[in-house]
Amino acid sequence: MLEKDIENLIAQHPDDFFPNSSFKLQGQQVKVANCYADILFIDKYDRKIIIEVKRGILSRDAVGQVIEYYGLLKQQQPDAIIELIVCANVIPHERKLFLENVGIECKELGLSLIQQVANKYNYQFLDDLNRQKKETDTVRSVKTDIENPQIDVSLINVWMFQANPTRYDILNALLDPEVQRYSWYVNQYINQIKQGDIALIWMSGKEAGIYAVAEIISNPSIISETPAEEKYWISNEDKGVKRLRVELINKTILINSPVYRHELKALTKLANLRILRVPQGTNFPVSPAEWQIIKELINKKINSLKVSNV
């Protein structure tokens, strides 16, 4: 899911995101004064409504850019009535308050809502077709790790690795082509997590669920993050810290179709899944039986994307 996908869906179907708004589309990437608006609407009061779209968390840097942009618009068109709305998947409370105090509206658009609108209108995410072949091949390789009769299943571990989206912008980090290999804290099960294991990347919060499948490619050791992945920390206090970590490489990305927490909780056979029972922590074990069920859900998600893109 690209920012362009979110922009397109809002532009084409504003009533699904802003009910009863009566927004009329004037264009996308429209020049307004010396700036370019992601989306420009006119509302029923003949006001210009500018929508700025940010994927993932609304970062501190993005807030500064929006403030500067809004100031330029007001300066260059002092007599025009211009309203600015910032849309992002996750908007931290303090940033929402800051922007709304200066007259900028904030709209948090969860991934589930975006997916619902996309499904409603049979919208194809721009990145799905390019990723399909890679995802099919890599998910097959993950299945082989578990199902190959020549491999001792008891030696293969599967783990949930949890990310807090208000602390780390996991959505953008997972989709960044510069982050080919990335590291993850190991705070629990230090002696059990090892190279060759499978990591299910879990995002906590209102839309908690599994957003990627990764392979653990190193044993736990004290290492630093690369600059490419470090930039996604929200607080500077988390940057440049050497900690016990493992390195990961993604096998498949599920951001366009995550396996949500409520889907897992609906299955009685997953009632003892550790991350559902005691969600505090970073690393959680997944049993072979639980992984078999989760893997089937993941495959269904991927197959549904293939069907929708035919």
The token pair at 263 is: 């889907």
Sequence ranges of the domains in the chain: 3-120, 128-308
Bridge partners of 259, per DSSP, are: 210
Q: Give the pLDDT confidence of 141-200 residue by residue, as tens digits.
A: 444 344 443 444 455 699 999 999 988 999 999 989 898 899 999 999 999 999 999 999
Please state the rounded mean pLDDT for residues 285-310.
81
Please state the rounded mean pLDDT for residues 40-60.
90
One-letter amino acid at 47 equals R
Q: Give the pLDDT confidence of 100-150 residue by residue, as tens digits.
A: 998 899 999 999 999 999 999 999 888 775 655 554 444 444 443 444 434
Nearest-Å Rg of the Cα atoms of the chain is 21
HSE (CB half, 13 Å, CA atoms) of 159? 29
- For residue 197, the tally of other CB atoms under 10 A from its CB is 21
Q: Give the pLDDT confidence of 209-249 residue by residue, as tens digits.
A: 999 999 999 999 998 898 999 999 988 888 888 899 999 99
- Return the DSSP state at 47: -
Residue 149's pLDDT is 38
Placement of tokens 């390195």 in the chain? 247
Q: Cα separation of 109 and 247, whole Å?
A: 31
Q: What is the mean pLDDT of the chain?
A: 86
Residue 96's pLDDT is 92
- CATH pick for 3-120 out of 3.30.420.40, 3.40.1350.10, 1.10.3720.10, 3.90.1150.10: 3.40.1350.10
CB 108 within 8 A of CB 90: yes
Q: Which CATH superfamily is domain 128-308 in?
A: ph1033 like domains (3.10.590.10)
Q: Using the predicted structure, report yes or no on whether residue 58 has a pLDDT greater than 50.
A: yes
Nearest to 57 by CA among 14, 11, 94, 100: 94
